[in-house]
Structure 1
Amino acid sequence: MTTPSLQDGIDKAGSPIQLLWKPGAAPWTPEVVEREYAGWRLEQAAWHEGAALLNLSHHMYDMWIEGPDATRLLADHGVNNFEKFAVGQAKQYVPVTRDGNIVTDGILAREDENAYLLSGIPAAQHWVQYHAEKGGYDVSFETDASSAFRHGGGNPKLFRYQIQGPLAQQLVERVFDGPLPETKFFHSTPVSLDGRDFKALRHGMAGQAGYEFIGPWEHSDYVHEAFLKAGEPLGLIQVGALAYTTPSVESGWIPSPVPGIYTDPELRDYRAHLALYGIEGQRPLNGSYFSPDIEDYYLSPYELGYGKLIHFAHDFVGREALLAAKDQPRRKKVTLVLNPDDVRRVVGAGEDPGFVLTYARHRVEASVGLVGMTVQTASIDPVGTVLAQTVIDPAHAEPGTEVTVVWGEHPGFGTEPEADLGFPRIRATVQPSPFDQHARTHYRRNS
């Protein structure tokens, strides 16, 4: 029996939106990890006030790319600067279509002169491997799917543990009996723990300093226990799946943007190559913002705040489109701070709404009507309300601008996109993205 492709799914449904629109879809949370350990509020507070341990081992999709053409392949299909990319360094890899719309981003680590590891949501990996095979690049691939999609079950090839928060450095020094070698932001350094070798990637989340420790799965239990034991006197808290999904709302990273691949006739073969039951065919769309045109959900690197990552000194797919759009992005990324009284009224029926997480695209309105859409919304307990990563008309992007968020689930086809469905409104105030000041200044300068 032939496995259906993404194109088969679109043809059967009638359009990309008819395939993907799923009102009320449950938000994604990481696989395998407990939903909560100490409670999502305490877990969020840990990376703001103390030390937090996050397990990234199970939900990341890894693809190793190696061969004489590895750098040329990645440069041909990514906006990044490969002239300045050291072995041991990592970058946020940004592939785009010929129309300049993002496919999705991923974390790309250079492991050797002609060897890379691309990690994250697998849409970028699919894009790179397809074009490698189609273009005849001299490269090889090895993949390790996330634990939810690993054929035959089994363990990941790598463990990934993040240590984050103001006490992260102190905890790391307790584990390794002293400070690690001074390491540049988003560069890694080799480390060893009782004869077990792995690496430490220097970075942070939600504005907090920290490390991501990456190594062979066979060492995972030992390393995990070492951090837990050393962290006990510091009040180390493990972060569960619920809280794990929220720091991106503060740090300004928009996870899993809609890949800009569904409409270009020249990408029909690509869509026929992709499995229907992959990320591109199964990641749902929902919320109060509904458009029958999937292109209204596409995002450019400029809208995502990735303009500084674009290196025009080399040729790459989408270069001309990005040059043309450079000075006129249609929307700007901002953070909306939702009015806490309205959140309690609309979401909590007058009470504390508890944990709120949604990737729904909610309408953002001003006096002129529709001005933007939310992309991820979550409770941030240390802030005291709900924040929403949002793309908005530049005319309404000034911090302090008052807007409203329409809270509800549009049913989709059969109802006009602009229909008044009686959904409640939540007042909100525009603030910068990243919302966290440290992430917006020092962290961004380092990146």
Structure 2
Amino acid sequence: MAAQKPSLQDGIDRAGSPVALLWRQNPAPWLPENIDPEYVGWRREQAAWHEAVSLSDVSHHMFDLYIEGPDATKLLAVVSANNYENFAIGQAKQFVPVTRNGYIITDGILLREAEHRYVLTGIPAAQHWVRYHGERYRYDVAFDEDPSTAFRGGAEPRIFRYQVQGPQAKALVEKVFCGPLPQAKFFHSIPVTLDGRDFRALRHNMSGQDGYEFIGGWEHAKPVKDIFLTAGQEFGIVHVGAWAYASASVESGWIPSPVPGIYTDPVLADYRRWLPLFGIEGKRPLNGSFYSPDIEDYYVSPWELGYGRSISFNHDFIGRDALLAAKDTAPRTKVTLVFDPQDVRGLGLRENGFHLTYARHRVEAGGALAGLTHQTATIDTVGTIASLTLIDKRYAEPGTEVTVVWGEHPGAGTDPDADLGFPRVRATVQPAPFDEHARKAYRRHEF
């Protein structure tokens, strides 16, 4: 008889606490799998979606959960805050699952493929949440998983995903398809055919610029990519590597992989015993200059993340009352911090080239804690480092000056508030999304 695999709860019990399980000093930053770090240099790759057109291959790092059956919509409506009354076939939504206390699990992209069939894509914490409730409470649904490449055991992906975006994306798409595609609203998809190959075009992107995400069977992956890269030469197309791709969300304002709010609620003990220890919930590390032994200090609300447009109270769902109560009281909001270039040079970060971290660094105003960074990266088009940050609303006005404490707290055994002599980096609050097009335009029109 095979040994039972350890659960998340087993890991917490052995470590002594959720933070003890997750805390790691200086972990390597996550990067998309099976993609070169750079193809033509991360600076050119970052510039491409602003100046010309870029192609990002996101076929390998996404986890897909297919949900199909008579109860598919019923299940999804119970476990998320989304509106399902106007959810059209072919439409996608940012999926917002929360705990009963109103904390985010993590988001994902939910695409409705048919009346009773959906696919949920992204970091697998949200997929775990859906599958657990579907199985635990015996909804009439079937699940089928296509893990990311890191967990496929050498198997090829089922589908390809290519993001084509930038000011020249429209011209490139019209050349490839010999004319304009049918109009599609933001986050709506349409069927397309290219050289006899059928796949889907979704109006979606990661950098805030116009474009599509093309999704289709893996057997068509190479020829479709080759067609776009060849046709795109006259438009200055750039194949985006892992470093530049990982930095795109800093500009577009999406915080990847917030800490799921699942580690402490006794009601979720059964869920933690269901989750594998070596899944995303047990392996995504915590680090940075901010340290707290209480994992709840890392939990976040979808209101803080800016997901209000995706929340609907027209149905009952897990966490509804808590979300409703927090609607106007969430203390923090999402901003972009732009680091002072001189201070960045003083740290030696700029000279070392590209820098990326998901660390929770302390953000201070007047010497007091004002917020936490969540994703930080060198943005060459800005000329310095920028960081997506959740900050107290008192300090969220653009132009406000704050400081970022730059360092790695050693964790347990050292006072969380100890002055460890870490350098302070001056930073200025700016809006999130930082990219003006992402903030003001790209959700509003058809393409």
Residue type at the aligned position of 2:285: P
Residue of structure 2 in register with 1:388 after alignment: 387
Q: Secondary structure at the match of 1:192?
A: strand
Asked whether 1:225 is paired with 2:226, we answer: yes
Task: State the aligned residue count.
Answer: 444
Matches within 5 A, 1:126-145: 126-145=128-147
TM-score by length of 1: 0.98
Relative to 1, partners in 2 of residues 1:446 and 1:65: Cα closer, same or farther, differing over 3 Å?
farther
Give the Å deviation of 1:5. Answer: 0.5
Deviation at 1:174, TM superposition (A): 1.2
Cα distance in 2 for residues equivalent to 1:391 and 1:429: 14
Question: Please, which runs of 5 or more residues in structure 1 have no aligned partner?
Answer: none
Aligned to 1:253: 254
For the pair 1:207 / 2:212, whether they are aligned, the reply is no
User: Would you say the 8 A contact 2:186–2:443 is kept in 1?
Assistant: no
Contact 2:165-2:212 at 8 Å conserved across structures: yes
Distance 1:304 1:353 in 2: 31
The equivalent of 1:365 in structure 2 is: 364
Q: Distance in 2 between matches of 1:445 and 1:94?
A: 21
Deviation string 1:318-350 (CA, Å, 9 cap, x unpaired) is 0000111111102111110100110111143xx
Q: 2:36 aligns with which of 23, 34, 37?
A: 34
Give the Cα separation in 1 of the matches to 2:284 and 2:305. Answer: 19
> Partners in 1 of 2:432 and 2:185 — Cα distance?
24
Query: 1:297 matched to which residue of 2?
Result: 298
> Could you say which residue in structure 1 is the equivalent of 2:85?
83
8 Å CA contact 1:208, 1:438 repeated in 2? yes
Provide the secondary structure at the position in 2 that maps to 1:137. Answer: coil
Aligned to 1:416: 415
Amino acid at match of 2:85: E
1:28 is displaced (CA, Å) by: 0.1
Deviation at 1:247, TM superposition (A): 1.0
Cα deviation, 1:145-204, whole Å, max 9, x if unaligned, reads 000111x31100000011011101111111111111111111011101111100100123
Other structure's SS at 1:205 match: coil
- Give, in whole Å, the separation in 2 of the partners of 1:229 and 1:403: 46
Alpha-carbon distance, 1:207 to partner:
2.1
CA distance in 2, matches of 1:446, 1:11: 50
Matched with 2:111 is 109
Cα offset, 1:298, TM superposition? 0.4
Post-superposition offset of 1:446: 5.9
Which residue identity does 1:110 align to in structure 2?
Answer: R
Q: Distance in 2 between matches of 1:446 and 1:272?
A: 45
Q: Aligned-pair distance for 1:353?
A: 3.4
Looking at structure 2, the residues matched to 241 and 38 of structure 1 have their Cα atoms a distance apart, in angstroms, of 12
1:234 CA drift (Å): 1.6
TM-score (norm. length: structure 2): 0.98
- Which consecutive segments of 4 or more residues in structure 1 shift more than 3 A? 444-447
- Cα deviation, 1:212-241, whole Å, max 9, x if unaligned, reads 000000000110111111011222110001
Q: Secondary structure at the match of 1:203?
A: coil
Deviates more, 1:170-179 or 1:52-61: 170-179
Deviation at 1:352, TM superposition (A): 2.3
Which letter does structure 1 place at the counterpart of 2:53?
A
Q: Is the 8 A contact 1:344 1:353 kept in 2?
A: no
Alpha-carbon distance in 2 for matches of 1:165, 1:444:
14
Residue aligning to 1:306: 307
Query: Could you tell me how far apart the structure 2 residues matched to 1:171 and 1:323 are?
Result: 44
Structure 2: any 5+ residue segments left out of the alignment?
A: none
Any idea what SS the aligned residue of 2:334 has? strand
In 2: Cα distance, 1:430 partner to 1:191 partner = 42
Q: Secondary structure at the match of 1:224?
A: helix
The RMSD of aligned alpha carbons is 1.1
Match of 1:239 in 2: 240
CA distance in 1 between partners of 2:86 and 2:295 (Å): 35
